[in-house]
Amino acid sequence: MSVGQAFDRQFDPRRLGALVRKESLQVIRDPSTILIAFVLPVVMLFLFAYAVSLDIRSVRIGVVLESDGAAAQSLAAAFSGTRYFSVAPARDRRELAEELVGGRLRGYVVIPQDFDSRLAFRTGEPLIQIITDGAQPNTASFVAAYAQGVFGAWQSARTHSAAGPFSFEPRFWFNPEIESRRFLVPGAIAIVMTMIGTLLTSMVLAREWERGTMEALMSTPASVVEILVGKLLPYFALGLSATILAALLSTTVFGVPLRGSWLALLLLSSMFLVPALGQGLLISALARNQFIAAEMALLSGFLPALLLSGFLFEIDSMPLPIRALTYVVPARYFVSSLQTVFLAGDAWSGMIPDMLAMLLIGIVFFALARAKTPKSLDA
């Protein structure tokens, strides 16, 4: 038998078209599929855009002004004038200790009684003290960093006014407003696509086994490859539709710029859907129960995408074994490329290696799914 004849037996356009039509009708008739594909992206994007934020806005802190000196008064005014803090003034740190313990303050800054003399004579002693609530480590780190930033900007302004016209001005590329929403929302699209691709397809074959219709599919002339591809294509189209919806929401509702092209965005999404759908098919081939398949999809798809993709936690700060594990998580490459295409543009030099990595992982998943789906009821 020639290679061409073998391929014809594996792939018949009419059989494939019939399988795609059958699966498409099943998708349309299943309300849960439509909810996951089109309602879930909206809900998750709103949550990540508004409920999850790494920005400090009007965090309540205290400023203990123990000195009546002009420099100390000026520094206290600098803290009160920033948009990042809502300041509760005090003259004694004991007034704020109970507020901090009760969680009504996230920290406080102490400007000591001899602040002006320390500043003038440069005694080497700390100029101010920053106390934060360590029960919330992330917020505490941000409060400390922003308080140091306010103090540094105040010192720079004093130096500039006293020493001459020299000053420095930091500039932030790609995200000049330093808004966490700008990089959280593109990353959230990757999480949504993982849910849609892996969760929906993980229940495809499992549903056939549960309903007893897998035997009917196996008795048809359709090959395993045709069955898998026929079930895949409708969900591929569903995933791309969800991507377009999420991108439109990101640009119009959440104000995230799309500096790259729609072509690049759709190409990236297509490459990511290959491993996402392939992983779902592999799960559905291993688990012949929809509940088990859904649990496996959440554990092997959603959680790694959320925790190991660089979406919330920087990969460079992870331990070496965990960093190595992230290389087999498709969302790692998708999150990075999405943030690039949204915030920087069509930087193909960085996106092409990510797309090739996603395609390679997807091929491995499809090969495993094909191997675990024999066309035999005895297997």
Distance CA(67)–CA(330), nearest Å, equals 56
Sequence letter at residue 169? E
Average pLDDT of adjacent 10-residue blocks, the chain of 379 residues:
46 80 82 81 83 72 89 90 87 85 86 86 78 78 85 79 48 66 86 87 79 73 80 88 92 89 94 93 85 89 90 84 93 92 89 94 92 63
CB 281 within 8 A of CB 369: yes
Query: Model-level pTM?
Result: 0.74
| Distance from C-alpha of 292 to C-alpha of 137, rounded to nearest angstrom | 36
The residue whose two tokens read 């020299």 is: 166
The values of phi and psi at residue 180, to 5°, are: -65, -25
Q: For residue 180, how many C-alpha atoms fall within 13 Å in the half-sphere facing its CB?
A: 15
Which residues of the chain does CATH 3.40.1710.10 include? 59-163
pLDDT computed for residue 6 by the predictor: 44
Answer yes or no: are the C-beta atoms of 222 and 267 closer than 8 Å: no
Residue 2: the pLDDT is 44
For the record, the structure tokens of 283 come out as 């799960």
Q: Write down the pLDDT at residue 55.
A: 64
Position 178 scores a pLDDT of 64
CATH of domain 59-163: 3.40.1710.10
d(Cα 124, Cα 178) in Å, to the nearest integer?
A: 33
